[in-house]
Amino acid sequence: MAGRGTSQDDVQGSPHFFLADGSDVHDPGIALHRDEQDGYPVVDSDDPGASEDLARRAAGATADPTDDGGVPGVTTG
């Protein structure tokens, strides 16, 4: 993506998507927390439709760039 100017510091983990509208999504559809004792990630919820929503956004189907498309964890610009 020309002009995005991402660096490794921007990437939170895998998967981490950077969209053309300037937004980014880390672990789309996954909500998690860290286990207090061991620090391991614990999945609280998993939205199987998040990938389809993300693909629509990436294809430009969402007219409003501030609309997160229902994808948890979306940061909009």
Segment 59-76, tens digit of pLDDT:
876 545 555 555 555 555
Predicted local confidence at residue 47, as pLDDT: 92
Task: Identify whether the C-beta of residue 7 lies closer than 8 Å to the C-beta of residue 49.
Answer: no
Domain ranges across the chain: 17-61
Predicted local confidence at residue 7, as pLDDT: 52
Is pTM beyond 0.85? Reply is no
Predicted local confidence at residue 51, as pLDDT: 86
Which residues make beta-bridge pairs with 16?
26
Q: Beta-carbon neighbour count of residue 6 at 10 Å?
A: 11
Distance of CA 49 to the CA centre of its chain: 13
pLDDT band of 42, cuts 50, 70, 90: very high
